[in-house]
């Protein structure tokens, strides 16, 4: 299991924010100010402090952590193909990779090397994957999906395609490929300026410790700034009340809800407090209680008068009276209708049936009870005397009395009388009732002192009663419409009842003060109510202090969670498993190979503040800081040495990919790096991205020396996009043999232009061809004539190669002729001369083959001298 895997498994028991920190450190290796802000917010969320931005933690996924290299298998890459949505790389591009030796992928800056490199880093789960893979900026936003590619590979000799898509778990076999680039190099040098080698992964724990320490300082400062104050309630807390108990319980026991409840005091409770204050301040409570009860008695009488007066003209009574009068009027109308019909009987005197006649008839009925005591009026004998005229009744007289009695006793008439009598009773009640409340003078003043609003209500009611009573009588008499009756004003009785309650309560309280026990209860009640009233005034400050107490408690929990001892223990534990002499020897060997002789690695496991590392001790006189001593090239060499040491000890057999490994090295150390990488290619596949032609030439030379294969691939920018692979390397990169081959290809185009009659194109191609021919002569001199003994930008002169070098006069003449003719067409012609005629294709062909023949002659000569089959003396003798 790798260190990264151990850290990942161990981290699953950490706080969520620390897991987030590890994920960020894994992907970026450093934490920015924004990262620390996010982590601080997440750490506070974990202890219950909400984040206004609603940030959520992320964890390092299992798929992100590369599994350890499998020493039992060999993973070889043969190509990367089917690229899509990778920067500006051509869609569907394919880049071949040699199965063995070194594959050097050359391209100038800006042609797509970094795009390929980022795909390698993502797919192979490189240590540093900070640089995102962006889609083609020339395409419409949203038109691109995630980056993807397919790796052609061989696993233990079996061909297989390994598809990869950004954001998904990469194929496991690709984890056997190790990646190095400039970002990885910086990752191997610690961020404090010390040249320290930290085994792969332990720098994550160092970064986590650094984050914990920084966030602890921030949390401590915030806690200090949030310290609560009890100044607003310290006096209340010193009393003997329930409020004081709750205040003293802050912050451990008391809850905010309890403070809210105690600080919520009703109007009734405030009035009770005022009553207690007045009562306990009274000098003669008994006399005061008597005066209050007398006042209550007067108000009780007023309440009674109000009730009586209102009842007389209340809506209910008025409605009842209105109904009775309505019935009386209806019955009277019915009786009048019956009387009209009776009066219309023929032969009767005028007025018969009227009220006077009815009175006369009733008088006759009463007289008959005396004059005809032995008979029931009006059923008198025919021969009896009439009670009215005292003449004999006769049959007609008897019939007339019976008819008159029937009329008088008729239902309509009786109903009218009954209705009239029923309505007369409530009418007389209203008419005779007194609605005077006797609310005047001293009584008005007394009530006004107790409640001006109630006093005003009583006065208004008195006025409305005096207006309503006569109005009701007028409506009953038909002089006013019932709907026009004035309304009574609001009844002040509830207000008076409330006053009476307070008066009785105060009187009772005053009586209680005579009892010491009851008085003590009242004093205690007053203290509690007064404490609650004062608490209400400072409630905001109390709740704020409680909030700060809670915040400080949570911040302390946050601070406790930022302790680094556990991280340091894990770091030390992991360092002990990797700290070995084998590792020190491997790193020292790599440093020696790269000629960083003045460094020696002493493996000393230590965890200062959780930072476990193996320090590089500088064995240089005079002291000084490492950053002042090392050049940029030496720093880069150190990084490469660390990378190669890890590869050596990893036991894996997968290849390595390097992106511009010598971009900042000096010329001399490029040779050591090239030799080291070529040497590594003898045991594993090596893939190198470079824009440095000189480094490419060095790789070629070292590959020849060590007898391994160097495959040179060229990527360029075309109309289809960036990163397009071409079999044709730039002319400057080619050796003499390949340059001659390229010149012969160019000759084919010259011949075609001549055949097609394209004179300008033929001239242009011919001039270019001669320019390249001149460069080929120069390379042949360096490479073949001088046998590589002296090379441009070389680290020195290879004196051993001089044994194969011979320069004759014929050589000089060939060189002079070839170079002179080639240079002729590159120079600007004089105006007087005009355009020089260009050689025809056959002449150009002869000039190319002249170089080819001379090269073959030189090769045979060098081989012959080296093998002893030819001698310099023989050459000069001829």
pLDDT in tens, 168-218: 888 989 988 988 865 454 433 444 444 455 666 777 888 899 999 999 999
Q: Which long-range contacts (CB under 8 A, 24 or more apart) does 317-321 make?
A: 317/426, 317/430, 318/472, 318/475, 318/482, 318/485, 320/426, 321/423, 321/426, 321/427, 321/430, 321/472, 321/476
Q: CA-CA distance, 470 to 289, in Å (whole number)?
A: 42
Q: CA-CA distance, 46 to 40, in Å (whole number)?
A: 10
The CB density around residue 180, as the number of other CB atoms within 10 Å, is 27
pLDDT at 338: 57
pLDDT at 417: 73
Q: CA-CA distance, 845 to 754, in Å (whole number)?
A: 13
469 phi/psi in degrees, rounded to 5: -55, -55
Tell me the β-bridge partners of 330.
none
H/E segment holding residue 445: helix 442-450
Sign of CA dihedral 615, 652, 122, 590: positive
Q: CA-CA distance, 593 to 637, in Å (whole number)?
A: 10
Phi/psi-derived region of residue 248, left when phi > 0, alpha when psi is between -120 and 50, beta in every other case: alpha
Residue 313: name the closest of 435, 479, 462 by CA.
Answer: 435
Coil, helix or strand at residue 868: coil
CA angle 329, 333, 339 (to 5 degrees): 140
The CB density around residue 422, as the number of other CB atoms within 10 Å, is 16
Residue written as token pair 């993502």: 122
Q: CA-CA distance, 589 to 644, in Å (whole number)?
A: 10
Whether cis (ω within 30° of 0) applies to the bond prior to 251 is yes
The CB density around residue 875, as the number of other CB atoms within 10 Å, is 16
Q: CA-CA distance, 851 to 743, in Å (whole number)?
A: 11
Which residues are CB-contacts of 756 (< 8 A; sequence separation ≥ 6)? none
pLDDT at 66: 67
Q: CA-CA distance, 612 to 572, in Å (whole number)?
A: 6
Residue written as token pair 């962006």: 134
Tell me the β-bridge partners of 165.
148
Sign of CA dihedral 867, 871, 875, 876: positive
Coil, helix or strand at residue 836: coil
Q: CA-CA distance, 694 to 182, in Å (whole number)?
A: 19
CA angle 293, 294, 295 (to 5 degrees): 90
Q: What does the buried/exposed string (b/e) look like for 554-575 if buried means 16 or more CB atoms within 10 Å of the residue's CB?
A: bbebbbebbebeebbebbbebb
Structure-block tokens of residue 729: 């390397």
CA angle 359, 362, 364 (to 5 degrees): 110
Could you give the C-alpha distances from 616 to 6, 603, 619, 810, in angstroms and in order?
A: 25, 8, 9, 58
Q: CA-CA distance, 545 to 550, in Å (whole number)?
A: 9
Whether cis (ω within 30° of 0) applies to the bond prior to 378 is yes
155 phi/psi in degrees, rounded to 5: -110, 110
Which residues are CB-contacts of 33 (< 8 A; sequence separation ≥ 6)? none
pLDDT in tens, 699-711: 988 999 899 999 9
Q: CA-CA distance, 259 to 248, in Å (whole number)?
A: 12
Q: What predicted TM-score, i.e. pTM, was given to this entire model?
A: 0.57
* Weakly modelled stretches of the chain, pLDDT under 70: 1, 66-68, 127-130, 137-143, 181-200, 330-331, 334-345, 347, 353, 406-416, 419, 514, 575-581, 597-599, 601-631, 663-668, 792-796, 798, 800, 826-835, 869-878
153 phi/psi in degrees, rounded to 5: -145, 165
Structure-block tokens of residue 785: 């004539």
Identify the DSSP state of 392: B
Residue written as token pair 């005591």: 373
Give the DSSP letter string of 574-603: HHHHH--HHHHHHHHHHHHHTT-TTEEE--
Q: CA-CA distance, 787 to 802, in Å (whole number)?
A: 7
Could you give the C-alpha distances from 537 to 232, 236, 376, 602, in angstroms and in order?
A: 10, 11, 94, 70
Coil, helix or strand at residue 158: strand
């Amino acid at each position: 299991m790798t260190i990264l895997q151990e850290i990942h498994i161990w981290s699953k028991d950490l706080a969520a924010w620390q897991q987030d920190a590890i994920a960020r450190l894994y992907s970026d290796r450093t934490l920015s100010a924004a990262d620390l802000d996010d982590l601080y917010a997440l750490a506070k969320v974990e202890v219950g402090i909400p984040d206004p931005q609603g940030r959520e933690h992320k964890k390092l996924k299992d798929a992100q952590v590369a599994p350890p290299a499998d020493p039992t298998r060999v993973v070889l890459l043969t190509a990367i193909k089917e690229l899509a949505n990778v920067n500006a790389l051509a869609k569907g591009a394919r880049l071949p990779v040699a199965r063995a030796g070194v594959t050097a992928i050359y391209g100038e800056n800006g042609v797509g090397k970094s795009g390929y490199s980022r795909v390698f880093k993502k797919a192979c789960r490189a240590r540093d994957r900070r640089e995102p893979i962006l889609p083609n900026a020339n395409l419409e936003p949203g038109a691109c999906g995630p980056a993807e590619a397919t790796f052609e590979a061989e696993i233990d000799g079996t061909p297989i395609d390994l598809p990869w898509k950004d954001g998904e778990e990469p194929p496991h076999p690709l984890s056997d490929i190790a990646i190095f680039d400039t970002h990885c190099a910086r990752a191997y040098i610690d961020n404090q300026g010390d040249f320290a080698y930290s085994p792969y992964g332990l720098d994550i724990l160092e970064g986590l410790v650094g984050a914990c320490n920084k966030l602890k300082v921030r949390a401590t400062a915030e806690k200090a700034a949030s310290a609560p104050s009890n100044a607003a309630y310290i006096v209340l807390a010193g009393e003997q009340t329930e409020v004081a108990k709750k205040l003293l319980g802050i912050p451990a026991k008391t809850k905010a809800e309890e403070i809210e409840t105690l600080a919520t005091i009703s109007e009734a409770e405030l009035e009770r407090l005022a009553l207690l204050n007045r009562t306990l301040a009274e000098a003669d409570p008994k006399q005061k209680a008597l005066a209050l009860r007398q006042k209550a008695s007067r108000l009780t009488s007023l309440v009674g008068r109000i009730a009586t007066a209102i009842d007389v003209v209340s809506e209910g009574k008025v409605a009842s009276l209105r109904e009775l009068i309505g019935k009386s009027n209806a019955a009277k109308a019915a009786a009048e209708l019956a009387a009209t019909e009776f009066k219309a009987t023929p032969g009767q005197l005028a007025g018969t049936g009227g009220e006077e006649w009815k009175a006369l008839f009733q008088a006759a009925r009463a007289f008959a009870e005396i004059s005809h005591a032995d008979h029931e009026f009006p059923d008198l004998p025919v021969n009896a005397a009439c009670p009215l005229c005292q003449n004999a009744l006769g049959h007609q007289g008897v019939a007339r009395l019976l008819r008159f009695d029937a009329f008088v006793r008729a239902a309509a008439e009786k109903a009218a009388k009954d209705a009239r009598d029923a309505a007369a009773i409530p009418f007389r009640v209203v008419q005779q009732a007194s609605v005077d409340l006797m609310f005047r003078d001293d009584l008005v003043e007394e009530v006004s002192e107790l409640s001006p609003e109630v006093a005003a209500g009583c006065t208004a009611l008195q006025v409305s009663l005096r207006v309503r009573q006569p109005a009701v009588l007028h409506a009953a008499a038909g002089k006013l419409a019932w709907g026009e009756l004035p309304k009574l004003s609001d009844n002040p009785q509830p207000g008076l009842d409330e006053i009476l309650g307070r008066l009785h309560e105060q009187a009772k309280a005053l009586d209680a003060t005579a009892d010491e026990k009851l008085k003590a209860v009242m004093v205690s009640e007053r203290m509690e109510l007064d404490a609650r009233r004062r608490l209400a005034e400072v409630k905001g400050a109390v709740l704020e202090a409680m909030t700060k107490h809670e915040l400080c408690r949570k911040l302390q929990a946050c601070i406790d969670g930022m302790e680094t001892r556990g991280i340091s223990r894990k770091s030390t534990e992991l360092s002990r498993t990797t700290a070995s002499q084998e590792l020190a020897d491997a790193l020292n060997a790599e440093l020696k190979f790269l000629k960083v002789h003045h460094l020696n690695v002493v493996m000393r496991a230590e965890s200062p503040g959780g930072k476990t590392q193996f320090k590089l001790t500088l064995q240089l006189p005079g002291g000084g800081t490492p950053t002042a001593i090392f050049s940029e090239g030496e720093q880069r060499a150190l990084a490469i040495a660390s990378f190669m040491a890890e590869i050596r000890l990893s036991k894996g057999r997968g290849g390595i990919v390097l992106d511009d490994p010598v971009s900042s090295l000096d010329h001399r150390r490029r040779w050591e790096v090239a030799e080291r990488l070529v040497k590594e290619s003898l045991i594993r596949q090596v893939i190198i991205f470079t824009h440095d032609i000189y480094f490419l030439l060095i790789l070629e030379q070292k590959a020849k020396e060590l007898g391994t294969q160097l495959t040179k691939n060229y990527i360029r920018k075309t109309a289809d996009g960036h990163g397009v692979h071409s079999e044709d390397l730039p002319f400057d990169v080619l050796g003499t043999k390949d340059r001659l081959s390229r010149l012969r290809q160019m000759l084919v185009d010259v011949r075609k232009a001549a055949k097609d009659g394209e004179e300008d194109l033929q001239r242009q191609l011919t001039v270019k061809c001669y320019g390249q021919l001149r460069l080929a002569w120069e390379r042949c001199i360096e490479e073949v004539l001088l046998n590589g003994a002296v090379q441009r930008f070389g680290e020195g002169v290879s004196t051993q190669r001089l044994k194969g070098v011979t320069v004759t006069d014929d050589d000089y003449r060939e060189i002079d002729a070839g170079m002179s003719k080639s240079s002729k067409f590159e120079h600007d012609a004089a105006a007087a001369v005009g355009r020089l005629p260009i050689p025809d294709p056959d002449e150009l062909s002869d000039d190319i083959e002249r170089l080819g023949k001379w090269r073959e002659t030189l090769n045979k000569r060098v081989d012959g001298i080296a093998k002893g089959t030819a001698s310099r003396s023989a050459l000069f003798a001829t």
